[in-house]
Amino acid sequence: MVTVSDLVKKTRLKVLQGEKYLDRPVTTSDISRPGLELTGYFKYYPAMRIQLLGITETSFAKNMTHDELLMVMRKMCAPETPTFVVSTDLEVPKELKQAAEENKIPILGTSLTSSRVLSNMTYYLSGKLAERQSVHGVLVDINGIGVMITGDSGVGKSETALELVRRGHHLVADDRVEVYAQDEQTLVGSAPAILSHLMEIRGIGIIDVMNLYGAGAVMQEDDVDLIVNLETWAPDVQFDRLGDKGDSQKILDVIVPKVSIPVKTGRNLAIIIESAAMNFRAQSMGYDATEVFDANLNKLIKENSTKD
């Protein structure tokens, strides 16, 4: 649950009035700009949203009589309304102060413009209120690429992640990754609070990565850019050798690229996963080694055909 108090701390808002009422819940990331409501139109009033007043709304309010504005503000102060936010260090209408105090609704302020504070609040609330899914795996940031390592229990996910941390990369979550869709194309993962910065290594037990390797070895959350699935090697299983299969996995309606890596004695999985992440970055920048190989192969075939 997110409260108005959380919103104040995370988006650096100032409490202008109603500090005693900051425990009111915020249930939606949608923000309302109550322009129509100031004209008296309340048929579709989204009362459960944060109400943001900027230059346009406060300027319009100045042209209303005291009684008109007080009546409107009292209607806007619904039981489910979490808070009012006034941008650009604007003066809060006294009618809003009165109505908000009557209904125990806090009023917040900021020096930021309406567009900027709306963006900040939406970004924070979207992440906190989004649907979450728990995925069994390990999330590591490799040079800015969020790689989620999945696979059967005991296949070596945590040990591989620990080696990646030793190589200078960052642990986000071990064992369980809490993911949510930030938008239609971005999946974000973090660790459950009880597992934050911790890893379980068979034979050793629980270790605190931040205490052992420093604060720079961990991250609170990261985008899930690539899924690397570790599979126990078997002679009858065909694995991708050219990198042209284009496998993916859908999580919370977000499609994430996926590669499968066979686990076999003697393979350095940390280096392989590190290379997979860098190859993914190269492909994202338009360079595809498979296409280069195909072009070189076709060129060689053509040259040999010419000689014949």
Residues with a catalytic annotation lie at: 136, 157, 175, 241
What burial class does residue 221 get, using C-beta atoms within 10 Å of its C-beta: 0-12 exposed, 13-18 middle, 19+ buried?
A: buried
Asked if residue 104 belongs to a known ligand binding site, the reply is no
Asked if residue 200 belongs to a known ligand binding site, the reply is yes
Q: What share of the chain is helix, strand, coil (3-state, %, to 5)?
A: 35, 25, 35
Distance between CA atoms of 269 and 267, rounded to whole angstroms? 6
Asked if residue 158 belongs to a known ligand binding site, the reply is yes
Considering only CA atoms, which of 56, 14, 18, 16 is closest in space to residue 37? 56
Asked if residue 248 belongs to a known ligand binding site, the reply is no
- Return the SS3 of 189: strand
Asked if residue 155 belongs to a known ligand binding site, the reply is yes
Asked if residue 127 belongs to a known ligand binding site, the reply is no
Distances (CA, A) of 225 to 21, 76, 79, 245, 260: 40, 42, 41, 17, 15
What burial class does residue 92 get, using C-beta atoms within 10 Å of its C-beta: 0-12 exposed, 13-18 middle, 19+ buried?
A: middle
Asked if residue 245 belongs to a known ligand binding site, the reply is no
Which tokens is 297 given? 């192969």
| Residues of the binding site | 151-158, 200
| Residues of the binding site for Mg(2+) | 158, 200
